[in-house]
Structure formats: C-alpha cells, structure tokens
Amino acid sequence: MATPALHAWFDEATHTITYVVWDPATRHAAIIDPVLDYDHRSGRASHRAADTVLGFIADHDLTAHWILETHAHADHLSAAPYLKEKTGAPVGIGEHIIEVQRTFAPVFGLDDVSGDGREFDRLFRDGETFPLGELQVEVIHTPGHTPACVSYRIGDAVFVGDTLFMPDYGTARADFPGGDARTLYRSIQKLLALPPQTTLYLCHDYKAPGRDHYAWQTTVADEKAGNVHIGGGVDEDSFVAMREARDATLPAPTLLLPSLQVNIRAGHLPAPEDNGRRYLKIPLKL
C-alpha cells in the first residue's frame, strides 16, 4: 500500500497536531485539522500557525487540494477559512456535522448556522473515497467522541482525530452532547481491525504520566496490544463503564465554548456587529 509523505506541527497551547499530507508523485497535499491561534484571556486571534503551514507548502512546492477536519473540535478554533482563502482548497468534514450544528446552534443562539452543513464545501459519507494526487483518501466514520467524527485513511496511514490517543494515554472522552461511549468502542474496533502495521496519526497528545515528551504517531498493533483503555481485548461493557466513570470527573475543555460556535461554522468567525467588532457568546448557567 502507498505511503504518503507528511509533516506535523504540535500546537502546545491546545495540544493539537496539524498535518500536511501529500502524494510524493504529484505533490498534491491535504491540510488536516489546522489551528487558529487564539488567546482566550485577551480575545486576540492570529494566523501564526496557519502561516507556518503555508510557508511549508510553498517551500516544498506543494499544492493544497483539501483542508480536512476530523470533527468540530472543542479544544481549538479552526484556521480553515484563512487557509482556504490563501490556497483555494475546499474544506471537508463528515456529513454528520449536521447533527452537531443542530445540537449546538440553539445553545449559542446562532441563527446564522444552516443546520445542513452548507458552511463546508464537502460533506463526506462513511466509506467514501476521493483522490489526493495518485493516492486515495478513504473516509471512515468513527463517531462516539462526537457524532461527526471521521478518520482519513491515506495509503498506509490513518488520521484518527480524537478517537484514540497514544497507548499510554488511552481514548477520547464521550460525554459531549451526541457523544456515546458504546459508539466510541465500536468505532475504535473498526480502526483496530485495520492491518497491524497501519500507522495511526493522532490529533492530540497530553504526555501520559511518566512520559516526558509529546508523541502523536503509533500503530494499530501497538494500540491493540497496549492501549490503557482498550488494549488487550477489553470488552465493550468494561470499556463503557470505565469511560463513563472517567468522563464524569473531567472538566470542560478550556476553549469549549469559543471553539464550538466557530467550528460548526467551518471556522468562520461571527460577523462584525455595528461597531465593527466580532463577539463570541458565552452561555451562562445560573
């Protein structure tokens, strides 16, 4: 099976990994899970990380043909619109983003969210394939963390979003609206059924206890044998019990509220108000 070329960037502020993946023959590239720099304390946003990606693409004579989101992230804002403006590449995500839009638009009172996914250029179905140069990208629907999560299989590499972490850290949480631990278990089993040598590229790392470096590349074999939540043949009921108990102790991600209202818009920021400023909404619970 073909092996794509790739480069990864780790954003320590959000613990997010962004990838540029390309076909060595044609140099057609995809950008996966790009990050908008955003300081929640000041409200300042910038394109520093996205400009680094653009610089790499230019320096390596690549052409961006896709900007791919694995899901509507709850821990960082997407830089997809800026990258689309600079490259012309369309933005794609799993078709179940519609469910996420319909869940969260009312939470924030967003009347400018379509609820039919039109903010994105392409909504991918489970099992759908599309070209990246001479390579093929296969879309694997891997819900559980959110209903819209997908993984992208490109040659012998799979970009799994938040579904799995490094073997010593475990698996994604499943307590967001629309998330489900049982569904997550079944999605993970789809990934673990891939050939053992398949390389898995993760969207996040938080350094498991005892590990002093960040890591985001593993294999199906290593996850299957040693993942602390799912490895060694853990059965579905045991996983669900563990996952639900663990999720009940986890705080909300720091950027949950700003991220979701931006990312269900495909990364577009709210329109400016009469004073020319843009505002994010913070729903209060009294």
Domain membership of residue 179 (yes or no) is yes
Whether 135 maps to a domain, the answer reads: yes
In this prediction, residue 169 carries a pLDDT of: 98
The tokens describing 6, both together, are 């790739």
Kindly report each contact of residues 104-111 with a partner whose C-beta sits within 8 Å and lies 24 or more positions away, as own/partner.
104/177, 104/260, 104/261, 104/264, 105/264, 107/260, 107/283, 108/257, 108/260, 108/261, 108/281, 108/283, 109/281, 110/261, 110/264, 110/265, 110/281
Give the Cβ contact number of residue 45 at 10 Å.
Answer: 17
Give the domain extent around 49.
5-263
Query: CB under 8 Å to 210, separation ≥6 — which residues?
Result: 168
Chain mean pLDDT for the chain: 97
pLDDT tens figures, 154-163: 999 999 999 9
Q: Which two tokens stand for residue 215?
A: 């890591």
Decide if 279 is inside a domain: no
Residue 284 counted as domain residue: no
Find out whether 67 and 84 touch, Cβ atoms under 8 Å: yes
pLDDT at 236: 98
Q: What is the pLDDT of residue 49?
A: 98
Does residue 248 form part of some domain? yes
The CATH number linked to 138 is: 3.60.15.10
Residue 59 placed within a domain: yes
Predicted confidence at residue 223, as pLDDT, reads 98
pLDDT of residue 235: 98
Nearby residues of 11 by Cβ (< 8 Å), 6 or more positions away: 17, 18, 35, 49, 76
> Is 272 a domain residue?
no
Residue 93 confidence (pLDDT):
98
pLDDT digits (tens, 9 = 90+) for 114-156: 999 999 999 999 999 999 999 999 999 999 999 999 999 999 9
CB 189 within 8 A of CB 199: no
What local confidence, expressed as pLDDT, does residue 89 receive?
98
- 88/31 Cα distance (integer angstroms): 12
Residue 35, domain member (yes or no): yes
Q: Domains in the chain: how many in total? A: 1
Contact by Cβ (8 Å): 151, 191: yes
Alpha-carbon span 25 to 235, nearest angstrom: 42
Give every residue of the chain whose pLDDT is below 50, as ranges: none
